[in-house]
Structure 1
Amino acid sequence: MRFFIILLAAITLISCEDKTEIEFNSVKITPVFIDSLSIRAIQPLDENRVWFAADKGKVGLIDGDTPKLAVIKYEDSLLHFRSIAVTKEAVFVLSVANPAVLYKIGFNGAEATNIEEVYNEKDENVFYDSMKFWNDNEGIAIGDPTKNCMSVIITRDGGNTWEKLSCKNLPKVEKGEAAFAASNSNIAIFGDNAWVATGGKKSRVMHTADKGKTWAVFDTPIVQGKAMTGIFSIDFLDENNGIIFGGDWEDKPFNEGNKAITKNGGKTWKLIANGKEPGYRSSVKYVPGTEGQGIVAVGSPGISFSGDGGKNWKELSKEGFFAIEFVNDSVAFASGNNRISKLVFTK
Structure 2
Amino acid sequence: MRSMGKTRRMLSVGAGALALAAALAVPAQAHEHRTPGWQMKDTASDARFRGLAAVSRSTAWVAGTKGTVLRTLDGGRTWKNVSPPGAAGLEFRDVEAFDARRAVVLAIGEGEASRVYRTEDGGDTWSESFRNTDPKAFYDCLTFFDPRRGLAMSDPVDGKYRILSTADGGRSWKVLPSQGMPAAEPGEAGFAASGQCLVASGPKDVWLATGGGATGRVLHSGDRGLTWTAAEAGIDAGDPARGVFGLAFRDRTHGIAVGGDYRAGQPSPRAAAVTGDGGRHWDPAATPVAGYRSGVAWLPHTRASALAVGPTGTDVTRDGGRTWTTVDTGSYDTVDCAHDGGCWAAGEQGRVARLTD
TM-score (norm: length of structure 1): 0.86
Q: How does 1:17-56 map to 2 (within 5 A)?
A: 20=29, 27-56=37-66
The answer for unaligned runs of 5 or more in structure 2 is 1-27
Match of 2:118 in 1: 104
Match of 1:189 in 2: 200
Question: 2:65 corresponds to which letter in structure 1?
Answer: D
Match of 1:324 in 2: 335
User: Is the contact made by 1:256 and 1:279 (CA closer than 8 Å) also made in structure 2?
Assistant: yes
Q: How does 1:110-125 map to 2 (within 5 A)?
A: 111-125=122-136
Query: Secondary structure of the equivalent of 2:46?
Result: strand
Question: 1:284 corresponds to which letter in structure 2?
Answer: V
Q: Distance in 2 between matches of 1:212 and 1:255?
A: 30
Residue 230 (structure 1) aligned with residue 243 (structure 2): yes
User: Is the contact made by 1:180 and 1:198 (CA closer than 8 Å) also made in structure 2?
Assistant: yes
The answer for unaligned runs of 5 or more in structure 1 is 1-18
Deviations 1:258-306 (A, max 9, x none): 11111111011111135x5422111011111111x11110000011111
User: Is the contact made by 2:151 and 2:164 (CA closer than 8 Å) also made in structure 1?
Assistant: yes
User: Is the contact made by 2:56 and 2:340 (CA closer than 8 Å) also made in structure 1?
Assistant: no
Q: Distance in 1 between matches of 2:85 and 2:139?
A: 18
Q: How does 1:296-311 map to 2 (within 5 A)?
A: 296-311=307-322
Residue 155 (structure 1) aligned with residue 166 (structure 2): yes
Query: Secondary structure of the equivalent of 1:213?
Result: coil
Q: Distance in 1 between matches of 2:269 and 2:230?
A: 23
Q: Answer 1 or 2: higher relative contact order, Cα 8 Å, separation at least 6.
A: 2
Residue 143 (structure 1) aligned with residue 154 (structure 2): yes
User: Is the contact made by 2:272 and 2:289 (CA closer than 8 Å) also made in structure 1?
Assistant: no
Question: 2:237 corresponds to which letter in structure 1?
Answer: Q
Q: Say what the alpha-carbon RMSD is for the aligned residues.
A: 2.3
Q: Distance in 1 between matches of 2:123 and 2:38?
A: 30
Q: Distance in 2 between matches of 1:60 and 1:344?
A: 18
Question: 1:190 corresponds to which letter in structure 2?
Answer: S
User: Is the contact made by 2:273 and 2:322 (CA closer than 8 Å) also made in structure 1?
Assistant: no
Q: Distance in 2 between matches of 1:68 and 1:147?
A: 41
Shift of the 154–101 alpha-carbon distance from structure 1 to 2, 3 Å rule, reads same
Q: Distance in 2 between matches of 1:320 and 1:103?
A: 28
Match of 1:8 in 2: none
Match of 2:106 in 1: 94
User: Is the contact made by 1:34 and 1:340 (CA closer than 8 Å) also made in structure 2?
Assistant: no
Query: Secondary structure of the equivalent of 1:167?
Result: coil
Query: Secondary structure of the equivalent of 2:125?
Result: strand
1:266 alignment partner, one of 279, 296, 308: 279
Structure 1 residue 317: Cα displacement? 1.1
User: Is the contact made by 1:87 and 1:133 (CA closer than 8 Å) also made in structure 2?
Assistant: no
User: Is the contact made by 2:54 and 2:342 (CA closer than 8 Å) also made in structure 1?
Assistant: no
Paired positions, count? 323
Structure 1 residue 38: Cα displacement? 1.1
Residue 68 (structure 1) aligned with residue 80 (structure 2): yes
Q: How does 1:246-261 map to 2 (within 5 A)?
A: 246-250=259-263, 254-261=267-274
Question: 2:135 corresponds to which letter in structure 1?
Answer: E
Deviations 1:235-260 (A, max 9, x none): 11111111111111126563422111
Higher strand share: 1
Deviations 1:198-233 (A, max 9, x none): 111242111111112222222222101000101010
Match of 1:13 in 2: none
Question: 1:283 corresponds to which letter in structure 2?
Answer: G
User: Is the contact made by 1:228 and 1:250 (CA closer than 8 Å) also made in structure 2?
Assistant: yes
Deviations 1:322-342 (A, max 9, x none): 001113575411111122433
Q: Distance in 2 between matches of 1:285 and 1:187?
A: 13
Q: Distance in 2 between matches of 1:77 and 1:47?
A: 28
Q: Distance in 1 between matches of 2:39 and 2:88?
A: 34
Q: Distance in 1 between matches of 2:95 and 2:209?
A: 17
Query: Secondary structure of the equivalent of 1:114?
Result: coil
Residue 175 (structure 1) aligned with residue 189 (structure 2): no
Q: What percentage of residue pairs aligned between the two structures are identical?
A: 27
